[in-house]
Amino acid sequence: MSVPAILGVSGLTKRFRGTTALDQVYLDIAKGEVVALIGPSGCGKSTLLRCLTWLEQPDDGFITIEGKPFGRETNGTVVRRHGGRQIDAMRPRIGMVFQQLNLWPHLSAIENVIRPQMVVLGRPREEATQRARALLASLSLADKAQHYPDALSGGQRQRVAIARALAMDPALMLFDEPTSALDPELVGEVLALLRELAGTGMTMLVVTHEIGFAAHVADRIAFMDKGRIIEDGPAAQVMNRPADPRVAAFLNLIGSGRAPLETLAS
């Protein structure tokens, strides 16, 4: 019996002023899978995440979430774009943690987690507060609940952003370079947290340059170049035996592509 697909992407295309940022992207993620999306800067990784949430409108292609069309669908030969309400109703099924985190600076950590639940999901404050407290506690932030973002460290702000996304009970979590804005000593802390989330069975798509994380936490690695996914396979296979010469060259360039996976664990 096959595992149901949480995310389905077929032929996704996005252009900016005549430049193709996404070029016929195809990607499926099954329930419980962790997929690391890697590739050179400017290849379209962040644009893909924004199109998956319809923060950027794709020019072509289709997305399904838990088997349901999201944003556009076909009826015979006719393509129909969903209205704003329909898109907004589906969007909470995808949690996204941005590079910039986008926490509201005028709200405490716990209010950053409570408010979206009330506004988007219509949860009563008491229920939203209970969910927020439980998540902050699970992320070792119970004592920081009343602190404002500017009083938190980078790693703590990252965890508040993750709690805010998890509070929406998404089917899929997207992470856009979750360690890019962190001081080096905090990178390991956030990678350990993502490893814990993966261990709970959370379905995740992680844009990352942390090759060790991709090798040891991800079930699959998808490599993106010039707006296309040119290789997608089991992490060990892509890391140690890439089929595409472009992938091999990239991994060799960053210095760890040919190292055994045991070496990358350190």
Max mean pLDDT range (121-130, 153-162, 200-209): 121-130
Asked which of 42-46, 92-96, 215-219 is least confident by mean pLDDT, the reply is 215-219
d(CA 76, CA 59): 19
> What average pLDDT does this structure show over 167-187?
82
- What integer pLDDT is reported at residue 213 of this predicted model? 79
Pick the closest to residue 88 from 8, 161, 168 (CA basis): 168
Contact 69, 63 (CB under 8 A): yes
pTM score, whole prediction: 0.87
- What integer pLDDT is reported at residue 182 of this predicted model? 67
Residue 146 pLDDT > 90: yes
Asked which of 25-34, 50-59, 129-138, 248-257 is least confident by mean pLDDT, the reply is 248-257
Residue 238 φ then ψ, to 5°: -65, -40
**Token pair belonging to 185:** 């000593």
Per the listing, tokens 């472009």 go with 246
d(CA 30, CA 183): 33
Report CA 194 to chain centroid distance, whole Å. 11
Asked which of 10-19, 26-35, 121-130, 189-198 is least confident by mean pLDDT, the reply is 189-198
**Token pair belonging to 149:** 């973002």
First and final CA of the chain: distance in angstroms? 36
Contact 222, 36 (CB under 8 A): yes
Domains annotated on the chain, with CATH: 5-264 (3.40.50.300)
How crowded is residue 67: how many other Cβ atoms within 10 Å of its Cβ?
Answer: 9
d(CA 34, CA 36): 7
Average pLDDT of the chain is: 88
Asked which of 10-24, 132-146, 163-177, 200-214 is least confident by mean pLDDT, the reply is 200-214
Report CA 240 to chain centroid distance, whole Å. 24
Helix H or strand E segment including 69: strand 68-69
Asked which of 76-80, 95-99, 182-186 is least confident by mean pLDDT, the reply is 182-186
